[in-house]
Amino acid sequence: MNIFRLTGDLAHLIAIIILLHKIWKSRSCAGISGKSQVLFALVYTTRYLDLVTSYVSIYNTFMKFVFLATSYATIYLIYVKFKATYDHNHDTFRIEFLILPSLALALLINHYFNFLEVLWTFSIYLESVAILPQLFMVSKTGEAESITSHYLFALGSYRALYILNWIYRYATEGHYDLIAIVAGVVQTVLYCDFFYLYITKVLKGKKLQLPA
Amino acid sequence: SKRNKQKDEL
């Protein structure tokens, strides 16, 4: 474990808590893409199947449970409890166009071909594009509430910090995972225009307006 | 293929 991965995991946890708290407090999921949340739940489910078979550390097991529980709780809030506030009209990204290519790619490019490894690889590829429905929704509505942009900033920062973690681990342990690194770079690049808007607008107290 | 290095990252 290193400081980059620890702060990355914390940024990830903070993002999830910001979102859950926002939906719970405002009793509304307006402006939130349920599809992205479904993709995140799929990412954690396919990645943490080894939760009961392999033990790394109490931290690792604890965080896996938290990510799984909070992602399903968020989906419950969006699609069940506050479904009246779910914005169907703007959450229209075709997620099958993200799931199927990720699965195909995972079957073609993986470290070795077995059930858990292919699913892990699928979860890595899917995570890199899982935010697209949310970013698409923000561009369609043309704006995002500031709390949603804080959520996106924290979520985008988590994988950017993981890139620093991978550089650090390569420098200190000579360990690297090219699949995770390439997907992580793609994932972070997808946030770049949002990061720019967040830093130039939201941090100055302006609303996040995306060019529609 | 790479041996099964344990996945210790989230």
Q: Say yes or no: A115 contacts chain B, CB-CB below 8 A.
A: no
CB-CB contact of A189 with A131 (8 Å): no
What are the tens digits of pLDDT across the range B1-10?
344 568 999 9
Contact B5 A175 (CB under 8 A): yes
Contact of A159 with chain B, judged by CB distance below 8 Å, is answered with no
Here the ipTM equals 0.90
Test A111 with B2 for CB contact under 8 angstroms. Answer: yes
pLDDT score for B4: 52
pLDDT value of residue A206: 87
Contact A161, A167 (CB under 8 A): no
Whole-angstrom Cα distance, residue B10 to residue B6? Answer: 12
pLDDT digits (tens, 9 = 90+) for A106-117: 999 999 999 999
Angstroms from A60 CA to nearest CA on chain B: 7
Helix H or strand E encompassing B7: none
What is the model's pLDDT at position A211?
A: 66
**How close B10 gets to chain A, by Cα (Å)?**
7
Exposure class string for A89-117: b at 16+ Cβ within 10 A, else e: ebbebebeebbeebbebbeeebbeeeeeb
Amino acid A8: pLDDT? 98
Q: Are A46 and A122 in contact (CB under 8 A)?
A: yes
CB contact under 8 A, A56 and B7: yes
d(CA B8, nearest CA chain A) in Å? 6
Question: pLDDT for A126-183, tens place per residue?
Answer: 999 999 999 999 999 988 999 999 999 999 999 999 999 999 999 999 999 999 999 9
Quick check: B4 and A50 CB within 8 A? no
pLDDT on residue A54: 92
Q: Quote the pLDDT of residue A138.
A: 94
User: What's the sign of the alpha-carbon dihedral A148, A150, A152, A154?
Assistant: negative
